[in-house]
Copies of this chain bind each other. A is one copy, B any other.
Amino acid sequence: MSRASDAIKPRLKAFGQHLEEWAHRGMDQHLRVGITGLSGAGKTAFITALVHQLLHAERDHLPMWEVVSQGRWLGAQRARQPDLTLAPFDYDSAMQSLNGTPPSWPPSTRGISEIRLALRYRPGRGLRRQFKDSVTLYLDLVDYPGEWLLDLPMLSQNYSQWSEQAWHRLAQTQWQNSTQAWRERVAALSGDDEKAVTACAEEYARLLGQLRQQGATLLQPGRALLPGELAGTPVIEFFPLPPQPSDGESELRALMAERFDAYCEQVVKPFYRQHFARFDRQVVLVDCLTPLNQGREPVEQMGQALKGVLDSFRYGPGSLLRRLFKPQIDKLLFAATKADHVSVDQHPNLLKLTQSLMGEAQRQIRFAGGEVETMVLSAIRASEQGQVDNGRGPIPVIRGRRLDGQTMVRFPGEVPERLPPADFWQGQGFDFVPLAPPQADDGSLPHIRMDHLLEWLLGDKMR
């Protein structure tokens, strides 16, 4: 063999390594999923449960997730997060809460956080199977407050339109008493008294927090509730004004409009550009049961919030969202959580209610080549299903613990298929009782339909 070919050998070897690396990179995949929630939907518990199911995936627990049921699953492990300026999602602390004595729900997060998992599996078909024994799918879960998602529809409004709607919401029956003093104060406000304007804005932020407790969902601007580094800055110090008086544009109205515009440009858009535009999939968790407990207007407002979000996602070629952010989300899921709080025979109704709140026409829409799905699930099942006979036949019950730890066995009540009419609420209401987390003996987390969710979220990427 000539010396020349000796010299070439190591080069060929290096070339082979490059090829292998390249093939490896080309076959490995990456999926970035945004997860948010409306109205205390249990976002932290959901993400914790999702990570837990992935780290401990077993066929018995996740029968509907194909990669596991087909025996192609190799395992998952946590990997370093790609985005260093985001807080890490605190999975360990959340698991500590759930495994505590007694178990407690993990505290809710107040900003954006991220966790990356490396999922290894054997490809089932196609090129991958020919070339590789195993492939890695990197899954990034990005947790952000629902309040920020609800700011999205503001981008298609101007201040007057927003103000009119927001003012109208404040004056609705359910909340009119809580907001009356503030509305009177604003009606008497003038634009040149800067201190009074700031005080009104601070009071408005407190009011939004109070309305959230009273079942309101559409609370804008979202950063008034969760200001972070914007605390005390003028850009979040705006609020709706009473319907415009006939003498035209006042100084106060101009000031509010200026701040509204700055908020959209300098707060909402940058968030969507930096984060939202990079999501491949989006999960929106929804708790429909708490608003049902609270009355007609909370349920109605939850519906408006869902429609607003859905409208924002309908991005045709000329839509606002498409022009601004070039989003790449191809799957959007609305998941009605807390399915464990009702008996299993009510799950179809919970699904129908969620879909009906989103608007009949919008149930099965496709957007820009993507799909919208609705699902009913429980990330961590806190009850067991049963039946008792009340003498007139068996009725379904759930068995679980109340938040105070007390055991309960009760008929949880029926879920309506759609928003009940106004007169219904005069005579009756709903009473879905919040549950404490289950005491798991074997370290596993019971769930309802998380395997369906995993198949929807990851199935097509793990063929």
Contact = CB atoms under 8 A, between A and B. Distances in A.
A234 B230 CA distance: 21
Given A228-B229, A229-B229, A234 B81 contact: yes
A72 to B, nearest CB: 28
A406 interface: no
Contact size range, A: 20 to 34
A333 interface: no
Residue of A87, A234, A259, A267 with most partner-chain B CB within 10 A:
A234
A324 interface: no
Interface string A321-344: 000000000000000000000000
A229 B266 contact: no
Contact of A267 (B85, B262, B266, B267): B85
Contacts of A228: 229
A88 interface: yes
Interface string A252-279: 0000001100110011000000000000
Interface in A56-102: 80-81, 84-88
Interface in A92-150: 111
A316 interface: no
A4 to B, nearest CB: 32
B230 A88 contact: no
A285 interface: no
Contacts of A87: 231-233
A234 B88 contact: yes
Interface string A188-201: 00000010000000
Contacts of A230: 85
A143 to B, nearest CB: 13
Nearest to A85: B235
A232 to B, nearest CB: 5
Contacts of A231: 87
Contacts of A266: 84-85
A88 to B, nearest CB: 7
11 contacts: A80-B234, A84-B258, A84-B259, A84-B263, A85-B230, A85-B235, A85-B262, A86-B233, A87-B232, A87-B233, A111-B229
Interface of A: 80-81, 84-88, 111, 194, 228-235, 258-259, 262-263, 266-267
